[in-house]
Structure 1
Amino acid sequence: MPESISPDDLRRRIIDADDADHHELTALIDAHGTPLVTDDPDDPDRQRMLFTWWPDRTQALRDGKEIAGVYVWVNRLTDKEHADAGLMSRIRGTEIWFAEISVPRDTMAGYRIYPFAADGPGVTDGKVAYSRAVVAHAHFDTRNPLVRSKSPFGSVAQGAAAPALDHWIGPHEATVTDTTGEVAVEAGAPIRYRLSIPDTTDPTPINLLITFDAEKWSDRYQLAHVLEQHHRQGRLAERYAVLGVYSPADSGDRLRFLGGNREMLAALTSAVLEEVHRLLPAAPAATVVAGQSLGGLAALTFGAWHPGVADRVLAYSPSVWFRPGLDARPVEVSGRQEWIHDQLRTAGPDSLPQLHVAVGDFEGELAPNVADAVDTAGEAGFPVSFRTYSGGHDDCWWAAMLLDDLAATGGPDLPDDTDTGSPT
């Protein structure tokens, strides 16, 4: 049984270790869980996150090569131009690697660990250049509390004031009936969807939530079950059926499917919704459209092109860099693209849905461009709220925002909405 030790004392043992006892120190870290979060003595609004890793039989390099280094990828905190912050140091006399970053107290970020060989993907002269290949070769931190709890989000680092993700951890007891279908789209990939309807014996009216990337939100994250259980526990006043629209697996196909696809959205608002309304026990009391990243862009264009269909649009980290003709995400996304602004300006003044838009403080060049789009939407007459959060381009934050916006509580866990309905 490892000795009881405070987080600050454990941190000192790791940071100041000199020929530490590997087994003793790993037992202490394992008992505590990772990352180790402590207050930053230099700034009361920040905390230090200390990430650790050591090999075991299931995590050694598959090809048997020697470990040249270890990199911790923390969403938008140690990637891209910040990749060096994720390179871990080894404690002398042990196989323990560590790296520490200082972050705001409400930070939340998904992360993975990448032990690499000298010739591993993305590795040059012992340093790691961030890429999707690097993330693909990294693995979840098995000592993270959320991984141990079987969270669908994998390993997540959370500051003391970060929102909780407990509601997403199964098993979920709610009863949900699923129907899948497919509708052809003129000159493009068909719409494949999954409609999840909660128990209809409950007399509470059922709203409709339309979300993109159903392979994540409907399948992996079990959104309909989470929402129904949330309702049963009194955390969500309204009930929701969830219409999840699947995205193509290929990144280029996904871009074409969700980016500026009038034919897809026309089929969604006609043939698909006609079938959905036929399956629902009654016409939905309200319709909400939600999306993240490219799905967030699709949600915004849904609201602009079909403003009378949705009552609210929730768009998180929308890909406002999109312009027609793209086959892949451009390398440079810092410049403002007028395309989404033009769609918002021409939406027309009648029956505009409420827009709830959010972007992460750590998203670099995307954040000011999303703020610009919010300003344009307000000037065009959309009732719109905008907020930022201490995170990056990250499913865990989008999940927390989604529950908060659907509950419409403006609770203390998340940043307060800033009403921008009138241009400033």
Structure 2
Amino acid sequence: MGRPDATGARRPTRPAPPRADSEARARLLAGEPPEAVSPTWPAFGRSVVGDDGRMLREVTFVADLPAGHEGMIHLNGITDGHRHDLGPALLERVPGAAGSDAPLGVIAYLLPDDLVASYRFASAPHLPRDAGLTHAGWRSIHRLGCPDPRNPRELPNPLGTRSSVLVMPGARVHPAWEARTPREPREVRAEVVPIDGDTSLTVLRPAGAADGRVLLLFDGEHWAGAGVREALARHLAPPATVVLVPSGDLARRAALLPHPERVIAHLETEVLPAVAALIGGLPDPSRVVVAGQSYGGLAAASVAALRPDLAATAIVQSGSFHFRADEESRVPAGQVGDLVRRLAEASVSGRFAVQAGTEEAGMLDLARSFADAARAAGGDVTLRAYTGGHDYAWWCTGLFDALDELAAR
């Protein structure tokens, strides 16, 4: 799940997804217990072609509700699009199935068949329908959220809890994130390297990572919790040394990552010298990739654009290209920020693998603006859209897709 925005400003709105009259919903409303309706949840049904030509599929969610509570689903990117009115996300209340006093909540949507999204259920005696109009109200919905106990796919989220992950039938997950990947995993050694009194890097060194390739990955503490070490062990591409660079709490992250000079100084004076001491010398910048998401994506783009002598390649996922240092934090609204404007007068030699989600308001358009500006300045740029929101659920696959693409070039 991506971080909630840091402002009370109203986001661009999108319509709620169409409700589905699925067979699974009908059977639940008729009193059948969830385990009799489907062996796995969420439950998928028929597919249809949407008005825009996209393939949609029925998906039904079911949740256990405490007595006297109403419930809702927060689907990353989907619910955010209509957060000014949470009515379309409310669960239908179902009386407890035979032999159970626990009421259930059910909701069925038609969603893109290739969607990957994190989600949680929230319940309370009353859920304000307009909670998403303010930052405080939206944070209260986040605090209420709980993962789906019927779905084994989970990820930690940046708020310190966990989210379930919806993978629609037409979606793809990178094999490195599938525990069933049919290969013997390679050994990945982890070493902790202090860089100041409160911060340490985690350096992951897969067996065979001896060719000098280095990946610097912002928000490293979250990636550690997401299981990136295990994913690296299953990854088929040539191994690289991966440096998990922590960003700290929300305040430290916001003070560091979107400010190019600060993040460049952090890499140049703290991170890279520590890596050099561990691996026996500074890595060749042409073999260093820096990667990040949201503010971290902006940071990665800034490093490769402005200081390719530190890292010549960036993997940029959902980069915050609306950020302006002299303005209050704001939501994306079609206006480019400092870095894109700066590129108009710059010469760029770096490589950029840029990605954004189709369900995150304004971010795909901003990614296109950055890609155009970086390409016009001389950069080598690819741009790829994923069906998803501002969300680690697809960032996990996108990160390894980009590593594969870069290794093949």
Asked if TM exceeds 0.5, the reply is yes
The answer to whether the aligner puts 1:33 opposite 2:40 as a matched pair is yes
Contact 1:85-1:99 at 8 Å conserved across structures: no
Which residue does the alignment assign to 1:421? none
Which residue number corresponds to residue 136 of structure 1? 143
Alpha carbons 1:51, 1:99 under 8 Å: kept: yes
The superposition leaves residues 366-424 of structure 1 with CA deviations (integer Å, 9 ceiling, x where unpaired) of: 2212211111111111110001111000001111001111112899xxxxx9xxxxxxx
Work out the CA distance in 2 between the residues paired with 1:273 and 1:221: 24
Determine if the alignment matches structure 1 residue 223 to structure 2 residue 228: yes
1:259 alignment partner, SS class: coil
What is the CA distance between 1:260 and its match in structure 2? Answer: 1.2
Measure how far apart 1:303 and its partner are. Answer: 1.1
Structure 1 residues 98-109: aligned runs within 5 Å: 98-109=106-117
The Cα shift of 1:359 comes to: 0.7
Higher CA-based Rg: 1
Quick one: distance in 1 between partners of 2:401 and 2:318? Answer: 16
1:122-174 CA-to-partner distances (Å, cap 9, x unmatched) read x259x8767122122110001013149xxx97411111121226633679762
Q: 2:80 is matched by which residue type in structure 1?
A: D
* Higher RCO, 1 vs 2 (CA within 8 Å, ≥6 residues apart): 2
- Write the deviation string for residues 1-34 of structure 1: whole angstroms up to 9, x where unpaired: xxxxxxxxx942523665x33xx422224x5221
Contact 1:291/1:297, CA 8 A, preserved across alignment = yes
**How far does the alpha carbon of each residue in 1:108-128 deviate from its partner, in whole angstroms, 9 at most, with x for none?**
10000112212x5xx259x87
How has the CA–CA distance of structure 1 residues 198 and 13 changed in structure 2, closer, same or farther, with 3 Å as cutoff?
closer
The alpha-carbon distance between structure 1 residues 194 and 41, as it changes in their structure 2 partners (threshold 3 A), is closer
Shift of 1:66: 2.0
Within 5 Å, which residues of 2 pair with 1:409-424? Answer: none
With over 3 angstroms needed to count, the CA separation of the structure-2 counterparts of 1:365 and 1:241, relative to structure 1, is: same
Q: How does 1:55-70 map to 2 (within 5 A)?
A: 55=65, 60=66, 66-67=68-69, 69-70=70-71
Aligned CA distance change for structure 1 residues 16 and 128 (closer, same or farther; 3 Å)? farther
* Alignment equivalent of 2:366, drawn from 361, 366, 369: 369
Matches within 5 A, 1:336-351: 336-349=335-348
Q: Report what 2:292 is aligned to.
A: 291
Is the 2:304–2:311 contact (alpha carbons within 8 Å) kept by the matching residues of 1?
yes
Correspondence for 2:164 among 143, 155, 159: 155
| Structure 1 residue aligned with 2:9 | none
The match for 1:111 is 119
Q: Distance in 2 between matches of 1:397 and 1:315?
A: 13
CA contact (8 A) 2:146 2:163 kept: no
Cα deviation, residue 324, structure 1: 0.8
* Aligned residue identity for 2:405: A
Q: Secondary structure at the match of 2:33?
A: helix
State the SS of the aligned residue for 1:155: strand
* Aligned-residue offset at 1:338: 3.8
C-alpha separation between the residues in 2 aligned to 1:277 and 1:365?
39
Q: State the one-letter code of the partner of 1:159.
A: M
Unaligned runs of 5+ in 1: 1-9, 185-189, 412-416, 418-424
Q: CA deviation at 1:204?
A: 4.9
Separation in structure 1 between the aligned mates of residue 212 and residue 162 of structure 2, nearest angstrom: 27
Name the structure 2 match of 1:242.
242
Corresponding letter in the other structure for 1:216: H
1:315 counterpart SS class: strand
Identical positions, percent: 23
Would the aligned equivalents of 2:195 and 2:270 in 1 still touch at CA under 8 Å? no
Q: Does 1:177 align with 2:190?
A: yes
CA contact (8 A) 2:298 2:320 kept: yes
For 2:113 and 2:327, the matched residues in 1 are separated by 38
Counterpart contact for 1:153–1:396, Cα < 8 Å: no
| Contact 2:93–2:104 (8 Å) recurs in 1 | yes
Q: What SS class does the counterpart of residue 266 from structure 1 fall into?
A: helix
Checking the alignment, whether the CA contact within 8 Å between 1:153 and 1:395 is kept in structure 2 is no
Asked if the contact 1:356–1:384 (Cα under 8 Å) also holds between the matched residues in 2, the reply is yes
Q: 1:252 to 1:275 in 2, by over 3 A?
A: closer
Match of residue 258 from structure 2: 259
Q: Aligned partners of 1:163, 1:409: CA distance in 2, in Å?
A: 19
Q: Which moved more, 1:379-388 or 1:38-47?
A: 38-47
| RMSD, matched Cα | 3.2
Structural mapping, 1:270-285, within 5 Å: 270-280=269-279, 284=283
How many angstroms does 1:270 deviate by?
A: 3.9
Residue of structure 2 equivalent to 1:196:
204
Q: Offset at 1:302?
A: 0.8
Contact 2:74 2:89 in 1 (8 A): yes
1:85 to 76, 85, 88: 88
Identify if the C-alpha distance between structure 1 residues 203 and 147 changes in structure 2 by more than 3 Å, giving closer, same or farther. closer
> In the aligned structure 2, how far is the partner of 1:347 from the partner of 1:132?
39
- List per-residue Cα deviations over 1:288-336 (Å, max 9, x = no partner): 1100001001001111221222232100000112111456x32x42041
Alignment size in residue pairs: 365
Which residue identity lines up with residue 193 of structure 2 in the other structure?
T
Name the aligned partner's letter for residue 290 of structure 1: A
